[in-house]
Amino acid sequence: MLLLIQYTIIFTAILSLVALGGCFSEHSGVINLGLEGTMVIGAMGGALLMRMLPDGTPVFLIVILVILISIVVGMLYSCLLAVSAIHCKADQTIIGTAMNLLGVAVATVIVKAINLSINPDDPSSIVQYVAEKQAFLVNIGDFEFNWFSLIALVALIGSYVVLYKTRFGLRLCACGEHPQAADSVGINVYKMRWAGVLISGMLGGLGGIAYIIAGASEWKFENGVAGFGFLALAVMIFGEWKPHKILMAALVFGFFRALGNVYSGIDFLSNLNIPSAFYTMLPYIISLVILVFTSKKSRAPKAEGIPYDKGVR
């Protein structure tokens, strides 16, 4: 049971981080379907750094550096979306899809190249980080506390404050709702959208590294992040693009995701003799069901997905 709580917390944290990423981008008016790819790239950045750091690096330094690199890499990657969607009026769905495919391909190519250069007999796309992973965990009795849970909590509160209590948030939301209105009072829509997408990349990258650390102590990059970026988007829709509701939505999804990891340890569930694949599928099924019930009345930012053109008004 403790394990279930532990996993629920960490998956909720990851989903919240990535969903908030989607939230910032969409509030600025850009749909970020490329979060999945951004997660992979962020995860790759962090994982490679963890492997390269010399043994005996202070725990504190590991945490800070890994987080920093994931954020930076995620932001850089999201520039692909920003440039195309904000300046070239590209179809945001195609670009997002391309970014997801590209993320996995780039990570695989890079990791394999590095693996090969270290050991010519190792053509895998696996990165190990057994020791470094411990830097992110604090054991409180049997409970494993993950620093990312705290980071996610801070991000949630921070996002709420930024979106609703600051000048930046007011302007950001205006750009996603009615960019012409924002422009007419001197707000630079392009700049705000860049900000939205970059924050989105930052949170996506952070979510990526958090995801692979929560899993095992090694990661095979050919597999990407198994649709987690899209689950986060479902969380965002379910959470009505609002940080406090995103937390609630993430809790629901996080719980079902955790169930897949630990169900065998819960007597009641393992006695049911349901094949393990069912539990693996559960989050996806739940998200479909929830989308069916929530999409009809969803209130997305009005101008999302529509390229802004100064000339047209």
Partner 1 sequence: MENAYAIEMLNITKKFPGIIANDNITLQLKKGEIHALLGENGAGKSTLMSVLFGLYTPEEGIIKKDGKEVKISNPNDANDLGIGMVHQHFKLVECFSVLDNIIMGVEPVKNGFLDKSVARKKVTELSEKYGLHVDPDAIIENITVGMQQRTEILKMLYRDNEVLIFDEPTAVLTPQEISELLQIMKNLAAEGKSILFITHKLAEIMEVADRCTVIRKGKYIGTVDVKTSSPAELSALMVGRDVNFHVEKKPQELKDVILSVENMSVAGEPGKQDVIKNVSMKVRGGEIVCLAGIDGNGQSEFVYALSGLLPVKSGKIKLCGKEIQNMSIRKRSMSGMSHIPEDRHKHGMVLDYPLEDNMILQTYFKPNFTSKFGFLKRKNIRSFSDRLIEMYDVRSGQGSVTIARAMSGGNQQKAIIAREIDKEPELLIAVQPTRGLDVGAIEFIHKQLVAQRDAGKAVLLVSLELDEVMDVPDRILVMYEGEIVGEFDPKAVSQEELGLYMAGAKKDEVKV
Partner 2 sequence: MKKNILKNNGFQTLLASLVCIVLGILIGFLVLLMIEPSGAFDAIMSIVKNFLNYSRANLQIKNLGKTLVKTAPLLMCSLSILFSYKVGLFNIGAAGQYVVGACASLYAAIAWQWGWLPCLLLACVASGAVGALVGAMKAYFNVNEVISGIMLNWIALYVTNMILGNVKAASNPYTRVLAEANKSAILPTMGLDRVFGLQYVSIAIPLAILFAVLVWVVMNKTKFGYELRATGLNKNAAKYCGMAENRNIILSLAISGALAGLGAAFLYLTDIEQWKCTVSAVPQMGFNGIAAAFLGGLSPIGTIFASFFIQHITEGGTQVDMTMYCSQISDLISAIIIYLCGFTAFLKLAMNKAIAKFESKNAKERSTK
Out of partner 1, partner 2, none, what residue 82 binds, judged by CB under 5 to 8 A for its kind, is none
Out of partner 1, partner 2, none, what residue 181 binds, judged by CB under 5 to 8 A for its kind, is partner 1
Q: Hey, what amino acid is at 236?
A: M
Q: Hey, what amino acid is at 191?
A: K
Nearer to partner 2, 136 or 228 (CB): 228
Q: Does 181 bind partner 2 (CB under 8 A)?
A: no
238-297 positions binding partner 2, by CB under 8 A: 275, 277, 280-281, 284-285, 287-288, 291-293, 295-296
Biggest CA pair distance of the chain = 64
Q: Is 139 exposed, middle or buried (0-12, 13-18, 19+ CB in 10 A)?
A: exposed
User: Looking at 45-53, 163-171, 231-239, 265-273, which segment touches partner 1 (CB under 8 A)?
Assistant: 163-171
Out of partner 1, partner 2, none, what residue 183 binds, judged by CB under 5 to 8 A for its kind, is partner 1
Q: Does 79 bind partner 2 (CB under 8 A)?
A: no
Of 249, 150, 167, 179, which is closest to residue 28 (Cα–Cα)?
A: 179
Helices and strands in the chain, H and E counts: 13, 4
**E strand residue ranges, the chain:** 126-128, 137-140, 143-146, 218-220
Site string for partner 2, 95-124 (x = CB under 8 A): xxxxx-xx-xxx-xxx-xx--xx--x--x-
The least CB distance from residue 23 to partner 1, in Å, is 15
Q: What are the Cα distances from residue 20, in Å, to 42, 180, 279?
A: 16, 25, 26
**Measured distance CA(32)–CA(22) in Å, rounded:** 6
Pairing relationship of beta strands 143-146 and 126-128 according to DSSP bridges: unpaired
Q: Does 174 bind partner 1 (CB under 8 A)?
A: yes
- Binder of partner 1 out of 87, 89, 165, 244 (CB under 8 A): 165
Cβ pair 36, 229 in contact under 8 A: yes
The residue ranges that bind partner 2 (CB under 8 A) are 33, 80, 84, 88-91, 93-99, 101-102, 104-106, 108-110, 112-113, 116-117, 120, 123, 125, 222-224, 226-227, 230-231, 233-234, 237, 275, 277, 280-281, 284-285, 287-288, 291-293, 295-296, 298
